[in-house]
Structure 1
Amino acid sequence: MIRLYILAGFAFMFLQLHLNGNLNKYINTRYAYLSISAIVLLGILFIFEFLRLYLKERRETDNEHEHMHDNEHHHNVHSHGHDHSHGESSKLKRLLGYVILIFPILTGIFLPVQTLDSSFVNAKGFSFPGIDTSADNPGYHQFLKPDTSVFYGKEGYEQVSHTEMSQFSSRQEINLTDKDYLKGLEAVYNFPNEFMGKTIGFNGFIYKGKQVDEKHYFVFRFGFIHCVADSGVFGMLVEFPKDIDLKDDEWVHVTGTLTSEFYQPFKQTIPVLKVSQWNNIDTPSDPYVYRTF
């Protein structure tokens, strides 16, 4: 019976994520069909488990009427001869297994889903993927630059990256929307010379980080390549036209010209957006962005 409740619990948890609109905080929304498939599969398993238990109970009821009382008594006496320690150990293992399965259900249903913000960047530390990541570690939480190279072979990624670069480099003014934010940023970081001097605009939240001065802030979006395992915080170092006082997690739209400069904390030259226009905006209904392929 406990297994029946566990199946129902997982199905309800996935269904709740869909109905509450929180699924996008765990996976790229283009893979939403996987969770829908899981709900259907769990529903089918629930029905089979329910029928199995129902038929089992019916058989046991029929057997009680058919068997003699003394046969039942003999069976009970015989069963008392088993090793009690073995039975208790088996029950303990089964109980532990149930606890492990029930825990994610309870946390998924009752704990609030936390929207990531600048505190996540502070907690995880800040680094540049070109230095700290490797192609055999796709589970690494990425920062600043989106990197999908781990999902392609070397030649495959080279071909894909050039194709995607050409989609953006032909534009003199590049407005990165939610849909192409990660793809556009990856093209800029892979081929910065192709974009120098071009006008780029995008939305994001402020993160002070290790500032050079009061004119430089990071502007970020949290994003998913596939799921939360390869999620990250992506954006650019932005130079504002004058000293301003911006707070972490303020949302802004920035437009400016792409330049580059040596950033001491990373000990390397990185793309920098030199802002010509900016304004505060409301926090988007969905603050995350997702990689399109």
Structure 2
Amino acid sequence: MRLHFQQAFRAFILLAFSTLLFKLHHTGDITKFINPKYEGLSQTASIIFLILFFIQVTRVWSTQKKSHHDCHHDDHPCHHDHGDTPLNTKKIIAYFVIIFPLVTGFFLSPKVLDASIADKKGAMLMLSNQKQKNMIGSETSPQKDEKNDGSTDPINLENEKIISEEEYNELVKQLELKNTIEMNDYVYAAFYDEIGMDVSKYKGKQIKLKGFVYKDKELSQNQLLLSRFLITHCVADASIIGFLTEFTEAPSLDNDTWIEAEGVLDVTTYNGTELPLIKITNWKKINEPETPYLYPISIKIM
């Protein structure tokens, strides 16, 4: 019997990828990398890696007499690698590229995006362009709400990942009827888009929300951004959303501090663009949520 070390190493890589995906799902850390609606695809990928591992195991051992004679013909020379050719620079680089995400995945804890990333992305510029973004795309809009201060019954879409356009329109109507807007994680993206489209419509309403502190250099001392990261597909496309806030205790808060706040919606301008401003009346520090990111719910095309 002959042991093929490279084939064994490839089998190990397949098993490691499968194990890593299982681990991320077991710990819940997978949602720090992808939108939960893709969890099914990720789980499928882990199973496929496992199946490929079992197939690869059959290539690890072979008899001495066994050869790849079927691949060596005078008129059809073999140009592909069976895994038993000597290591070279090209192979080493390829293995390193494949192994690197495994090493980081197993030995480094996933880091949540924070104020430093918001600074690199240009948070204030992104927020001031929110109206233009709202006009372009609608995938970040639909979500749901549980309470209603008006006369109509609230719709319950808490567990829905896709809602119809009719349900979304009903959701927006409920937002307009509310005296107090509660920005829970499920409704945040939808309500944020609607408020951004017509800030003046919601001026004077009470609002409750949570987020992490980000202080832009262009803001005054008593102002800060109460921010969240929105992930549409994966962490690579994360965008910052949030509200400019104003209160006397703002200077005492450091970047990345998570707070829960209540206040009154007002309107301000930044670079000639109207933005919502929350004048905070009550707030408290909180721990970083177990799920710090926001995820949109898609509108079902009928």
| TM-score above 0.5, yes or no | yes
Residue in 1 that maps onto 2:278: 273
Q: Per-residue deviation at 1:272?
A: 0.9
Residue in 2 that maps onto 1:290: 295
Q: 2:121 aligns with which of 107, 124, 147?
A: 124
Q: C-alpha distance in 2, partners of 1:132/1:193?
A: 15
Q: Are 1:185 and 2:183 an aligned pair?
A: no
Show the 5 A alignment for 1:57-76: 57=62, 60-61=63-64, 63=66
Residue 289 of structure 1 aligns to a residue whose secondary structure is: coil
Q: Are 1:24 and 2:21 an aligned pair?
A: no
Is residue 213–residue 257 contact of structure 2 (8 Å, CA) maintained in 1? yes
5+ residue gaps, structure 1, are: 65-74, 76-86, 136-144, 153-157
When residues 49 and 133 of structure 1 are mapped into structure 2, their CA distance, relative to the original with a 3 A threshold, is farther
Residue 290 of structure 1 aligns to a residue whose secondary structure is: coil
Q: C-alpha distance in 2, partners of 1:146/1:218?
A: 23
Q: 1:215 aligns with which of 192, 197, 222?
A: 222
When residues 252 and 122 of structure 1 are mapped into structure 2, their CA distance, relative to the original with a 3 A threshold, is same
Q: Per-residue deviation at 1:292?
A: 2.4
Percentage of identical aligned residues: 29
Is residue 245–residue 280 contact of structure 2 (8 Å, CA) maintained in 1? yes
Is residue 208–residue 262 contact of structure 2 (8 Å, CA) maintained in 1? yes
When residues 161 and 148 of structure 1 are mapped into structure 2, their CA distance, relative to the original with a 3 A threshold, is farther
Is residue 118–residue 248 contact of structure 1 (8 Å, CA) maintained in 2? yes
Q: Per-residue deviation at 1:26?
A: 0.6
Residue in 2 that maps onto 1:254: 261
Is residue 224–residue 230 contact of structure 1 (8 Å, CA) maintained in 2? yes
Q: Per-residue deviation at 1:88?
A: 8.6
Q: Per-residue deviation at 1:132?
A: 9.1
Residue 112 of structure 1 aligns to a residue whose secondary structure is: coil
Q: Per-residue deviation at 1:192?
A: 2.3
- Paired AA for residue 121 in structure 2: K
Is residue 140–residue 190 contact of structure 2 (8 Å, CA) maintained in 1? no
Q: 1:108 aligns with which of 105, 111, 114?
A: 105
Q: Are 1:99 and 2:96 an aligned pair?
A: yes
Residue in 2 that maps onto 1:138: none
When residues 165 and 210 of structure 1 are mapped into structure 2, their CA distance, relative to the original with a 3 A threshold, is farther
Instruction: Give deviations 1:48-70, integer Å, cap 9, x for gaps.
Output: 2223445xx1xx34659xxxxxx
Q: Per-residue deviation at 1:27?
A: 0.8
Q: C-alpha distance in 1, partners of 2:136/2:238?
A: 10
Count of residues in Structure 1 that have an aligned counterpart in Structure 2? 256
Residue in 2 that maps onto 1:82: none
Q: C-alpha distance in 2, partners of 1:147/1:175?
A: 26
When residues 179 and 150 of structure 1 are mapped into structure 2, their CA distance, relative to the original with a 3 A threshold, is closer
When residues 38 and 25 of structure 1 are mapped into structure 2, their CA distance, relative to the original with a 3 A threshold, is same
When residues 254 and 92 of structure 1 are mapped into structure 2, their CA distance, relative to the original with a 3 A threshold, is same
Structure showing the higher helix proportion among its residues: 1
Q: Which has the larger radius of gyration?
A: 1
Q: C-alpha distance in 2, partners of 1:256/1:169?
A: 17
Is residue 128–residue 275 contact of structure 2 (8 Å, CA) maintained in 1? no
Residue 190 of structure 2 aligns to a residue whose secondary structure is: helix
Q: C-alpha distance in 1, partners of 2:135/2:23?
A: 30
Is residue 148–residue 225 contact of structure 1 (8 Å, CA) maintained in 2? no
Show the 5 A alignment for 1:204-243: 204-240=211-247
When residues 259 and 117 of structure 1 are mapped into structure 2, their CA distance, relative to the original with a 3 A threshold, is same
Report the TM-score, using the length of structure 2 for normalisation: 0.71
